[in-house]
A = this chain, B = another copy of it.
Amino acid sequence: MAASKLLSVTEIGTHNTPSDCWLVVQGQVWDLTEFHHEHPGGSAIILKYAGRDATKAYSEVHSPSVIRKHLQPDKLKGALDTSTVDDEWLSLSLSESGNTQGMADGVEGPKPPLETVISSHDFEVVASNTASKKAWAFYSSAATDLVTRDANNFCFNRIWFRPRVMKNVRSVDTRTSIMGVECSLPLFASPAAMAKLIHVDGECAIAKACERKGILQGVSNNSSFSIEELAQAAPNGKFFFQLYVSPDREKSAALVRQVSLLPQFKAIHITVDAACPGKREADERVKADESTSVPMSDARAKNDKKGGGFGRLMAGHIDPGLTWDDIAFVRKHTHLPVCLKGIMSADDAILAMKAGVDGILLSNHGGRNLDTSPPSIITLLELQRRAPNIFDRMEVYVDSGIRRGTDILKAVALGATAVGMGRSVLFATNYGQEGVEHLIDIMRDELETTMRNTGLTSLDEASPELVHTGDVDHLVPTSRLHPYARKVAKSRQRGTAKL
């Protein structure tokens, strides 16, 4: 399947129309005449490079394997005869790539040395200064007025520790087990889309760091790299796969089966909180470059009437018709544990338990989907208040708002098996694998410090007694009904107007 035929730039240049469209990608010449109609990112971006070299634009979004997966071998027309490359060819490629998204665009200065970055907040600040405008907008944005995004972390700060002293804390043990998988920390990388936007190694950098540090990585359905590439990058890594159930169930089934074949993958997390993409205004406001195609999206990555939001464009392949019945459907195609990602109420946690899922990830998608959805730590408290037995029956995870080791321990004390970090990991990826490793080291340090200063030596000792939640208890529902509702129910029952 290697390209044997050498093709000159002159010849390639003649295939530059919609009805006869060749592109050079990584030295190989492909015929995209038929495919460009089916391109998830739209025709336009392909036709823009018709008869030319599209390597740079391609690499910024796709991993090397993507093109081979989507195209039949006969579409490979040959290899670029590099001896024929001339100035015009080069300048065309360069002038285009100057517009493309990625690290080059929007970089406002060099990144500070990694050793000066000492917290997850620091990674965020560096990213805001050095990532491309689009990457920053896509990662940092959240739904409408950002109430939930900001409350996610703020609620952690309103929960106070009740630290105990004079306990021998010479050695502390942060290890835990997640779905039977030994992990060095009760922390995982939350699945997040399109990590390539901030670093060329994208999710591969994350995978290698997590493997090295012994923590679990959640892989997004919209990952820039394929699951096989990630498994190859981190052969001893431990992953779970985040699944958006597609309107085309068979496609999802195939994907689940494919994931289940890889021994590195330990669980499937079905996302349930994305019935509709949130309105992320910062994301919408930044026009994406046309060369950035969006995974799973039929639309090109450019502004439509509503803006240029990646999140919205990606949502085309997410089925808003997902129901509890789909759990059984997913189970049919995998032997892996099945979890639900995006539970936001004790009521649905109870339903999940009754449906027999193996775990739930309390998450509001980082505040990205529904503004004024409850902070995840509040949902965890709702479980403690309304359905405490749930913690004996399945694993409960939390993400959205985790920034500190103190946050991790609070969630664990309130019943969480582990917590996920999404945005922070993406911002750390700004420094590649080394950055992510540094972030994990920071979080472990903070967690150990917190354990010692609260008097714990192992996570098993963490219980709700470790925290005082009096400053947020009023945010926690006490029953399925609205507190005024009982009165309504009663007065209606009596058929009296009670006015």
Contacts and interface: CB of A to CB of B under 8 A. Distances in A.
Interface of A: 115-116, 118-119, 144-145, 147, 156-157, 159-170, 272-273, 275-279, 281, 284-285, 303, 305-307, 319-324, 326, 340, 342-345, 347-348, 350-351, 353, 369-374, 378, 381, 384-385, 387-390, 393, 404, 406, 445-446, 448-450, 452-455, 463-465, 467-471, 473-477, 480-485, 487-488, 491-492, 496-499
Contacts of A453: 273, 275-276, 278, 369-370, 373
- Scoring A378, A388, A455, A473 by chain B CB atoms within 10 A of each residue's CB, the highest score goes to A388
Contact of A406 (B168, B319, B371, B482): B371
Contact of A498 (B389, B452, B467): B389
A369 B454 CA distance: 10
A449 B323 CA distance: 17
A296 to B, nearest CB: 18
Contacts of A496: 389
B485 A370 contact: no
B389 A347 contact: no
- Scoring A169, A406, A499 by chain B CB atoms within 10 A of each residue's CB, the highest score goes to A499
Given A275-B453, A275-B455, A485-B465, A372 B161 contact: yes
B353 A306 contact: no
Nearest to A309: B118
A306 to B, nearest CB: 7
A470 B42 CA distance: 47
B385 A487 contact: yes
A482 B497 contact: no
Given A157-B372, A389-B497, A476-B470, A168 B323 contact: yes
B473 A471 contact: no
A385 B321 contact: no
A371 B453 CA distance: 10
A165 B348 contact: yes
Nearest to A371: B406
Contacts of A477: 162, 468, 470
Contact of A452 (B320, B372, B393, B480): B320
Given A119-B279, A465-B482, 4 more contacts: A144-B404, A161-B344, A387-B498, A389-B491
Contacts of A483: 469-470, 473
Contacts of A393: 497
Contact of A118 (B284, B481, B482): B284
Contacts of A116: 285
Contact of A344 (B162, B303, B450): B162
Given A275-B455, A353-B499, A488-B384, A469 B449 contact: no
A372 B159 contact: yes
A487 B157 contact: no
B370 A161 contact: yes
B166 A323 contact: yes
A121 to B, nearest CB: 8
Given A306-B118, A384-B484, A449-B279, A342 B165 contact: yes
A276 B169 contact: yes
A326 B381 CA distance: 37
10 closest Cβ pairs, A-B complex: A464-B482, A276-B452, A370-B453, A388-B488, A165-B272, A470-B474, A170-B321, A275-B452, A168-B321, A385-B484
Contacts of A445: 279, 306
Contacts of A144: 119, 404, 406, 446
A223 to B, nearest CB: 23
Contact of A387 (B170, B485, B499): B499
B345 A166 contact: no
Contacts of A118: 279, 281, 284-285, 306-307
A465 B480 contact: yes
A160 B473 contact: no
Nearest to A476: B470
A428 B341 CA distance: 39
Nearest to A466: B482
